[in-house]
Amino acid sequence: MNRDGFGSRLGILAAAAGSAIGLGNIWKFPYIAGENGGAAFILVYLICIFLIGMPVMLSELVIGRKGQSNAVGSFEKVKPNSPWKFTGVLGVGTAFIILSFYSTIAGWIFAYISRAITGKLTTINPGELEGFFGNLISGSFEPVLWQFIVIFITAFIVISGIKKGVEKYSKILMPVLLLLLIVLAIRSVTLEGAYAGLEFLFKPDFSSLSAKGVLEALGHAFFSLSLGMCTLLTYGSYVKKNEKLPSLTLQITLADTFIALLAGIVIFPAVFAYGLSPDSGPNLIFITLPTVFHSMPFGGFFEILFFILIGIAAITSTISLLEVPVAFFTEEFNLSRKKVTVLIAVIIFIIGVPSTLSYGVMKDMTIFGKNFFDLADFTASNILLPIGGLLISLFVGWVWGTRNAIREATNEGKIRFLLSGAYGFVTRFIVPIGILVILFYSTGIIKP
C-alpha cells in the first residue's frame, strides 16, 4: 500500500506553518514579550529562532523524509537496531502530555468564541471581565466540555489522513487566519495612541531584559516552532523526495516568526492606546484585550474575529500533535488509522481533564508544588522538548552524520544548500550546548 503524503508544496507549507503557528504565537509570545520588556526580548528570541531553531527543524525534516516513516520508524530506518529510536518514543509520549494541557487553553478559546458570537461576552462591562474569565475556567463542566470539543475536532481532521485531512484543512484555515490577523492589525495600528505599542515592540531597551528572559526566549523558540517531539519529523516523512527542505525550513520559520510579530502588532498598540498594561501575563488575551475591544467602536465584531483566529491557530497545531502518536501506532502495530485516532483521542481527553480542573476543583492538588496544568506544561515544554531537540541534533551531528543529513537535504546533491557547512557546525556544537544550557536552567541546576 502506498503511504499517505502531502499533495503539493503549498499544502506542506500550510500544514507545517499551521503546526508552528498556534497558541504559542498568539497567546504566549505576546505575554512573555510583554513581561520581559518587549523589543529587547524579541531580538534575543529572533536570534534563538534562527540560530538554534532552524537547524533543529531541518534535522527533523531530513530524518523524517529519509526514513519515510513515523517518529520511531524513521530512526529505525536511518540507523537500524540502535537505541536512537527512543527519541521517537519520547516524542510520542510528549505529544500526549502537550495535548493534555494545550486542549485546556484551546477549550477556553472556543468558549470565548461561542460567548462572543452569542453576544454574552461582547456586552459585558470591562470591569466584569476578570470575574467572567475566572468563572469560566473554574467550572467543572463547561471547560471540560470545550476541551472535549477541541479534541473531537482534532481527531475528526486527523482521522481522514494527511492529504484529505491535515493538508485539506490547513490549506483552508491558514489563509483565513492570515487575513483575520491583517484586518485586526490594521484596526489596531490605526487607533489613536497606537504608536506607544509599536515602540514597545520594536525599540529595544536592554535594561529590562534579564538572564531569565534570555533563557525563556530560547525555550519558547522551541515550542513555537513545534520542535523537539518529532512533529516536523513526522510531517517530513510525508514530503516528496524532490521537495526542497532547506527552503521549506526557512519558509516555515519566517511564517511562524511573522505571525508572532503580527500578533504583537495586533495586541500591543491596542493595549497601549487604551492605557492598559502590557505585562498582565497569561490573562493578556482573556482579560486585557477584551477590555480593549469593549472600548473601541465595533469592538464586538473584532473580538469575534480575534477569537476565531486563535481557535484556527490552535486546531492546526493540535492536529500536528495528534498526528505523531497516530502515525506511530498505526504503522508500528499495523492498526487501522480510525481506531487508533479514536482511542488516542479518548486517552488524551482523560489525561487532560485534571489539567482543565486545575483552575477549579483540583486547584489545591499539587505535585512538586505545581498543579496538574503547570506540571504538564513544565515537564513537556521545559524538560521533554529540549531533551528531544538535543537527541535529534546529537543523532544528526554525531551518529548519522551531518554529511548524510546534508545529502538528504540537498536531494542527493541535486539542489544547492548554501549554508550546509554552517548547518553542520551549528548542529554538532552550538545547538547541543544551547539546549543543555536551557535544560540546566529550567530544571534549576544552574541559576541565572
**321 sits near ligand TRP (criterion: CB under 6 A):** yes
Distance of closest approach, residue 279 Cβ to ligand TRP, in angstroms: 20
Among 223, 274, 286, 441, binds ligand TRP (CB under 6 A): 223
By CB under 6 A, residue 257 contacts ligand TRP: no
User: Which positions ≥6 away from 356 have C-beta within 8 Å?
Assistant: 103, 104, 107, 143, 144, 147, 373
Tell me the β-bridge partners of 367: 370
Shortest distance, CB of residue 182 to ligand TRP, whole angstroms? 19
x/- track of binding to ligand TRP for residues 85-124 (CB under 6 A):
-------------x--------------------------
Examine residue 320 and tell whether it contacts ligand TRP (CB under 6 A). yes
Query: Which of 257, 291, 317, 402: binder of ligand TRP (CB under 6 A)?
Result: 317
The residue among 314 and 405 lying less far from ligand TRP, judged by its C-beta, is 314
CA–chain centroid gap for 346, Å, is 22
The 3-state DSSP class for residue 61 equals helix
Q: DSSP letter string over 373-389?
A: HHHHHIIIIIIIHHHHH
Gap between the Cα atoms of 98 and 378, Å rounded: 10
* Residue number with CB closer to ligand TRP (237 or 420): 237
Cβ neighbour number for residue 298 with a 10 Å cutoff: 9
Q: Note whether 371 binds ligand TRP by CB under 6 A.
A: no
Residue 310 CB, shortest distance to ligand TRP, in Å, is 10
Nearby residues of 174 by Cβ (< 8 Å), 6 or more positions away: 14, 17, 18, 21, 312, 316
**Identity of the residue, 24 or 67, whose beta carbon is nearer to ligand TRP in the bound complex:** 24
Place of cell 537527541: 391
Shortest distance in whole angstroms from residue 91 CB to ligand TRP: 8
Residue 231 touches ligand TRP, criterion: CB under 6 A: yes
Nearer to ligand TRP, 317 or 371 (CB): 317
Report the nearest approach of ligand TRP to the CB of residue 146 (Å).
17
Q: Does position 23 bind ligand TRP by CB under 6 A?
A: yes
Candidates 20-28, 143-151, 300-308, 345-353: pick the segment binding ligand TRP (CB under 6 A). Answer: 20-28
Task: Report how many residues bind ligand TRP under the rule CB under 6 A.
Answer: 17
Phi/psi of residue 367, nearest 5 degrees: -125, 130
Answer yes or no: are the C-beta atoms of 274 and 126 closer than 8 Å: no
Task: Output b/e per residue, 394-418; b: 16+ Cβ within 10 A.
Answer: bbbbeebebeebbebbbbeeeeebe
Q: How far is the CB of 357 from ligand TRP (least distance, A)?
A: 22
| Cβ neighbour number for residue 285 with a 10 Å cutoff | 25
**Residues 406-445, mask of contacts with ligand TRP (x by CB under 6 A):** ----------------------------------------
Nearer to ligand TRP, 99 or 215 (CB): 99
Are the C-beta atoms of 236 and 71 separated by less than 8 Å? Answer: no
> Rounded distance, CA 92 to CA 97, Å?
9
- What DSSP state is assigned to residue 367? B
DSSP 427: I
Can residue 326 be called a binding residue for ligand TRP (CB under 6 A)? no
Are 15 and 167 in contact by the 8 Å Cβ rule? The answer is yes
Task: Output the smallest distance, CB 95 to ligand TRP, in A.
Answer: 7
- Judged by the rule CB under 6 A, the positions of this chain that interact with ligand TRP are 19-20, 22-25, 98, 223-224, 226, 228-229, 231, 317, 320-321, 385
